[in-house]
Amino acid sequence: MRTTNRMFLLLGVFLIILFSLSCGNRHSGDGYYSAVNSQEMEVSARAAEGETIPQRIIKEGYLSIEVRDINQATGIITDKIKELEGFVASESAYTESSRSSRNMTIRIPADRFDQLIAFLEAQADRVANKNITLRDVSEEFVDVEARLNTKRELEQRYRELLAKAKTVDEMLSIERELANVRAEIESMTGRLKYLSDKVALSTLNLEVFQTFSPAYAFGQKLSKSFVDGWYAFLGFVVWLAGLWPFVLILVFAVFLYVRRRRKNRQQQ
């Protein structure tokens, strides 16, 4: 009886040890990721403590001004933009009978944005529309920067774990997580570049327009009609010139017809 009890006791201890080993193997991969996740939380908390947030402002605006001579004003404005070390990202023009306008998207250093606005208002006969917006992205910038640093440390930690991995399953799992972290790092890096560009260079959508009086508009239409008529006449002449073989055949046929009639009359 004692021998039987000892056998059952040893069997129970053996089963307990076997169960413990199997659980430890099953959760060994989870140990990697829990350690990494705890490190990520630790790095995020460390980045958030005692941070002084530098102010980062995105300046954007829309300005519509009326001028007396749109060609002259556009040239002056373009020269001023170059002087302020800015550039015209895009430009378009539109002209109708009573109005001519130019639309420009201007990128200008942020510290010279207000100087450009003041210059444009001084050049205008009338400011038709003005809308300036300032957007503070300081917290977003710091948040993305802190998360980017966290992800970089996490990437390094995954690389260390990958070097220590012993099984194929562990290697594949860590490589999948490493690829996800790399994608997040690239996305955050792109976002930081976008914010930095917007902060460094302000954007102004500018419309410069000139309006014409009714008499001037009538004169423009009349002169345009004369010009269009002249070009239509030239086009007609060109079209006739393209028919010269047919005209030559027609002239020759008329010549033969007239010659035959004369011959018939002489015979009569």
Question: Among 96-100, 144-148, 219-223, 251-255, which stretch is predicted with the lowest mean pLDDT?
Answer: 219-223
Residue 262's Cβ-side half-sphere holds a number of Cα atoms within 13 Å equal to: 6
Question: Among 33-47, 59-73, 111-125, which stretch is predicted with the lowest mean pLDDT?
Answer: 33-47
> Which residues fall within 8 angstroms of residue 130, CB to CB, at 6 or more apart?
61, 62, 63, 64
Amino acid identity for residue 117 in this structure: I
Residue 72: strand, helix, or coil: helix
CB atoms within 10 A of CB 217: 15
50 — pLDDT class (breaks 50, 70, 90): low
CA 102/CA 70 separation, integer angstroms = 8
Sign of CA dihedral 76, 81, 87, 89: negative
Share of the chain above pLDDT 90, in %: 46
Structure tokens belonging to residue 181: 């972290």
Nearest CA-CA partner of 199 in 54, 76, 20: 54
Domain extents in the chain = 35-212, 216-267
DSSP state of 58: E
Specify the pTM: 0.58
Render the burial of 2-32: b for 16+ CB within 10 Å, e for the rest.
Answer: eeeeeeeeeeeeeeeeeeeeeeeeeeebeeb
Predicted confidence at residue 19, as pLDDT, reads 44
Most confident of 88-97, 106-115, 167-176: 106-115
Q: What are the CA-CA distances from residue 75 to residues 78, 81, 102, 143, 157 (Å)?
A: 5, 10, 11, 43, 57
